[in-house]
Amino acid sequence: MFRKKLPGIACDIDGVLIRGSHNPIVSSIPAMRMLRNPSSPYHIPFVCLSNSGGNLEKSKAEQLNHLLNLDSEISRLNAEHIILNFTPFRPIIEKYREKSVLIVGRGKINEIMQDCGVQKFVNMNEFRSLESKTVDKLPTFHKKFQSLKLPFEKWLDISGIFILNDPIEWETNIQLISELLLKNCDIPVYSSHNDALYSDEFPLSRFGLGGFNSVLISLLKKINNLDKKLVFSGKPLSLTFECAKERLKKIADGNKQEISEFYMIGDNPNVDVMGGKNNGFKTILVRTGVFKDKGNDKENPADYVVEDFNEAMRLISKLEKLELI
């Protein structure tokens, strides 16, 4: 049977579609409405591929629908269109359903664990309270603690550490992770990305989780002489780009389409362009986020450089001979 060939588009979120959690990049709104236009003859396979997290995919989809004015049922993005930093870890997290895990980072990380079916998880505040035996000061955890009827020792018997987003109090988090690893250096540590910088509403780029990972690894080495390898998800790693390809193929398959070419649109040459190139995507660099130079990036040149998401869509439309825009 004839299958229509269409491009599969992966697009970064921060610095391409939005800036910070409340501000859309205005020029991306009409392009996104066009891309998701319910009356378009094309249903382009599309996913958002972000190193942000601390929230469920469906909540991120709702946030984008709101900011980008995607209001009709067919044009709206949903969880299948969103790959966040922890999303490629989902199959690994699900293997810890019966085990005790420590979760680290800001945001709704408890909800992520619940959504993956893990029950015996402790976040940093709870873990600290367990160590000092002040668990009753945290009412929600006290309830969980009582309902699962596990002694302190069981909760403290941590089998895996998941850093699901950048933590707020770096020193406390590093201290407690180090103590755990000193007791048992074989506990695997999964960190949902290793991207050092990100762009939001501040004029200068901010330190991301990659910064936290670096400090943790170097202190473990310097103070404890421990060479600890973390397991990473997130861009620019293959795990994340393979997840995006699989998702795009699945969407195309559902629409009885085939992917003609994979495209990655991003604002950060070190993660979006490098990762895209290494994993078989045509890369399009925009100037609305981290990258702002004239010309192309010197270290990780993209296949194409354009001003913004709108221009990126025009370019794909031209390359693929589609009348998208």
List residues binding Mg ion (CB under 5 A): 12, 14-15, 267-268, 289
Task: Output 23 or 134, the one with its CB closest to Mg ion.
Answer: 23
Token digits of residue 182: 């000193």
Helix or strand run (H / E) with residue 161: strand 160-163
Q: Residue 201 Cβ, how far from Mg ion at the closest point, in Å?
A: 13
Task: Output 49 or 113, the one with its CB closest to Mg ion.
Answer: 49
Roughly what angle, to the nearest 10 degrees, separates helices 124-131 and 170-183?
60
Task: Output 12 or 57, the one with its CB closest to Mg ion.
Answer: 12
Task: Output 190 or 198, the one with its CB closest to Mg ion.
Answer: 198
Peptide bond into 38 cis (omega under 30): no
Q: Residue 235 Cβ, how far from Mg ion at the closest point, in Å?
A: 9
Q: Residue 24 Cβ, how far from Mg ion at the closest point, in Å?
A: 14
Q: Residue 305 Cβ, how far from Mg ion at the closest point, in Å?
A: 15
Q: Say if CB 30 and CB 312 are below 8 A apart.
A: no
Task: Output 54 or 289, the one with its CB closest to Mg ion.
Answer: 289
Token digits of residue 9: 């588009």
Q: Say if CB 241 and CB 235 are below 8 A apart.
A: yes
Q: Residue 87 Cβ, how far from Mg ion at the closest point, in Å?
A: 16
Measured at the CA of 128, the angle between CA 181 and CA 233, to 5 degrees, comes to 50
